[in-house]
Chain A
Amino acid sequence: MATTYSANDEKKGNNLFLTLVRFRELSIMIIILLLVILVSIRNPAFLSIENFRDILLNISILVIVALAQTMVIITRGIDLSVGSMIGLVAMMVAFVTVSFPEMSPLVAVLLGMAIGSCLGAFNGFLITMGGVPPIIATLGTLSIYRGLIFVYSGGQWVNSYEMPDGFRALAKGAPLGIPNIILIAAVVAVLVHLFLNFTRPGRDIYTIGSNPDAAKVAGVNVTRTTFMVYVISGVLCGLAAVLWASRFESAQTNTALGFELQSVAASVVGGVSILGGSGSVLGVVLGAFLLGIIENALTLVRISPFWQLAAQGLLILTAVIVDSAISRRLQRFGGES
């Protein structure tokens, strides 16, 4: 049946439930709230400021990478190489800081982002110029970048005692009262939000994800935008890598192994459609926060950490199942009006 759904019907959505679920962010917040209440009943220590600082510390890097992943997914792509990019950049930057202990941590950050941009550019090049589907291209570079870490370091690790103090303080230092790493993640989130909503290149990301053919016809430079997205992904992974090396005070060949799937998970739980075209920064931040809270809560209520991964998997499944149920219901409402 042709749905004769006129725009005015939108106003008819006075059903409170529907209004709520329509805003993905709100429903995640409700889940978070419920979780917080439940866990704090079992263990009041959960509600302490220190604990929340811990949670935020733990998810900061995930937020940065998940936002990069989100931008890629909005364009209907995927970046499976994020974990390997983080590992490689972390190792390279760690080498340089050990060799030049006097170097300012800020330079390390910029260096990391620069290296990341090159890695991202290679991904983008393969995808836009080489016609390699994103999932294949980044699956390939996942292996390549991870392998390069080994070639680079010859299997060596960079350990805590080798790193200069300034570099180690980069992530955990808190000159402003809040740990730097949390501040940086917050700034990245705000910047990405502004970029996606208030700049034309940002809007182009949604445009090409929503309908790539029409975007081309409408004069959006699809190649350049796609290329840009993968470079941004590289840059943010570069930033995340430096923070990772600083926070964990080491760079190893298996740094951030498997992080690609975690970043996709945070995006999906945050309401980003894997089919492209939609997703918001707030949603992704909340998605990462939810993953972080669950991890933290399981520890606090003394559930074996071995259940953690299973819980994470269940959360992802629940999120997508609920999502599809909601969108199907919304459609039905649309059809009947």
Chain B
Amino acid sequence: MTSKQSLGDFFKRWEWLLVLLIFLVTIVNARLTPYFLDTRNLMRATSDFMELGLMMLPMVFIIITGNIDLSVASMMAMCASLMGWLHMQGTNIWVAMAAALLLGLLAGFLNGYLVARVKLPSLVVTLGTFAFYRGMAYALLGDQAARGYPESFTFLGQGSIGSIRFPFSAVLFIIFAVIFSLILYKLKFGRYLYVIGNNEEAGFYAGVNVVRTKLLIFMMSGFMSALAGIVLAARFGSTRPDIGTGLELAVITAVVLGGVSISGGSGTMIGAILALVLIGEMRFGMGLINIPGQGQNIVIGFLLILSILIPHVGRELTSGNVKVNKAMVGKTAVALIMIALFAIFFFWSRTLLIA
């Protein structure tokens, strides 16, 4: 009975659906445009998502414990700005980079301290540091951009390896993805993350060092954000304080789409990585057929919602617990009519100015 159950679970797993979607998107993309399967294009597109990926890895940890870190993009900007500022003051770029990583650890420590020790909700803490760290980035650089990084440094973001031009940043991502996966599955630290996400108190009673574990994951987040900032600065060859604005939501989207429960306790690393690949591929494909970034957001937004909505509705229907009653039909009808009215108005009023 047990083995049968787990076999069924194995095939029902979210990850397979993601694989299937990736497969479908690849086929559709390849049919839509001949440029898609061009290695050079693919590789360049890959490097566009590596900063996102680097920040996503610790975010998986954080969301598994039932917390959230809204400050990742701000930490990224702050650390990259510090590096840029130090470099402009004449500091050696590698020293500046080390300082940025250190600042990332420190910023993560502050988040972690307030969440783990002071026991404040992570949503509020990182909302505060979201503003604070971004503010520090502006305070450091103002409205200028830091430039003039040496080529040895920009290799981190622009460099590539081998004849297929495999981006160096992707190598970095793969190394860290392996490290984070090993931590999650092979160390007791990883088990503790699930324990904390499911029942923090019982974990504490069983000897789990809850405070230290939480502190560490927020510090990892700070460190990886700093690293992402460095890679981004290297890729652009410059740093501005507004880099990566809104990226925290993209990171969270990837993690949740990857099947990590936002309320904590469950989720896999491979799921999140697959979601990252899926998002990257879809954006790349849509970019090739000239759908602008804002339009792509619509698709990703729907994907995110549907990834929760469809399994939920499916469960409800198959469990047979739902009795379709008048009130429910009524509410659904009202909502659908409002959405329909909106859609009609949307397209009609649009034609007024855009013919």
Which B residues, 127 to 163, have Cβ-Cβ distances below 8 Å to chain A?
127-136, 138-139, 142-143
Q: Does A115 sit at the interface, judged by CB under 8 A? A: yes
Is there an interface contact between A128 and B120, defined as CB atoms closer than 8 Å? no
CA gap between A10 and B189 in the complex, in Å: 45
CB distance from B157 to the nearest CB of A (A): 25
Q: Does B227 sit at the interface, judged by CB under 8 A? A: no
CA gap between A274 and B125 in the complex, in Å: 11
Q: Does B296 sit at the interface, judged by CB under 8 A? A: yes
Q: Does B262 sit at the interface, judged by CB under 8 A? A: yes
Is there an interface contact between A311 and B128, defined as CB atoms closer than 8 Å? no
Q: Does A169 sit at the interface, judged by CB under 8 A? A: no
The answer to whether residues A96 and B349 also contact, given A306-B138, A310-B138, A311-B135 and a CB cut-off of 8 A, is yes
Among A99, A131, A142, A150, which residue has its beta carbon within 8 angstroms of that of B249? Answer: A142
List the A side residues contacting B129 at CB < 8 Å. Answer: 313, 317
Q: Does B292 sit at the interface, judged by CB under 8 A? A: yes
Q: Does A121 sit at the interface, judged by CB under 8 A? A: yes
Q: Does B309 sit at the interface, judged by CB under 8 A? A: yes
Give the nearest-CB partner of B302 in chain A.
Answer: A144
CA gap between A257 and B292 in the complex, in Å: 17
CB distance from B115 to the nearest CB of A (A): 11
Q: Does A194 sit at the interface, judged by CB under 8 A? A: no
List the A side residues contacting B123 at CB < 8 Å. Answer: 78, 274
Give the nearest-CB partner of B340 in chain A.
Answer: A118
Q: Does A314 sit at the interface, judged by CB under 8 A? A: yes
List the A side residues contacting B127 at CB < 8 Å. Answer: 261, 264-265, 268, 316
Is there an interface contact between A133 and B298, defined as CB atoms closer than 8 Å? no
The answer to whether residues A135 and B262 also contact, given A117-B338, A130-B309, A316-B127 and a CB cut-off of 8 A, is yes
- Among B5-13, B215-223, B329-337, the stretch in contact with A: B329-337
Task: Report the interface size class on chain B.
Answer: 35 or more
Q: Does A223 sit at the interface, judged by CB under 8 A? A: yes
CA gap between A129 and B316 in the complex, in Å: 11
List the A side residues contacting B135 at CB < 8 Å. Answer: 306-313
Is there an interface contact between B262 and A126, defined as CB atoms closer than 8 Å? no
Among B262, B297, B352, B354, which residue has its beta carbon within 8 angstroms of that of A154? Answer: B354
List the B side residues contacting A314 at CB < 8 Å. Answer: 128, 132
Is there an interface contact between A140 and B301, defined as CB atoms closer than 8 Å? yes
CB distance from A147 to the nearest CB of B (A): 3
Which A residues, 87 to 107, have Cβ-Cβ distances below 8 Å to chain B?
92, 95-96, 98-99
Is there an interface contact between A147 and B308, defined as CB atoms closer than 8 Å? no
Q: Does A119 sit at the interface, judged by CB under 8 A? A: yes
CB distance from B84 to the nearest CB of A (A): 14
Which B residues, 284 to 330, have Cβ-Cβ distances below 8 Å to chain A?
292, 294-298, 300-302, 304-305, 308-309, 312-313, 316, 328
Q: Does B37 sit at the interface, judged by CB under 8 A? A: no
Q: 18 extra interchain contacts, Cβ-Cβ under 8 A, other than A118-B339, A140-B302, A307-B138?
A: A99-B352, A122-B338, A125-B335, A132-B309, A136-B305, A143-B304, A144-B297, A149-B294, A261-B130, A275-B121, A306-B138, A309-B132, A309-B138, A310-B136, A311-B135, A312-B132, A313-B128, A324-B119
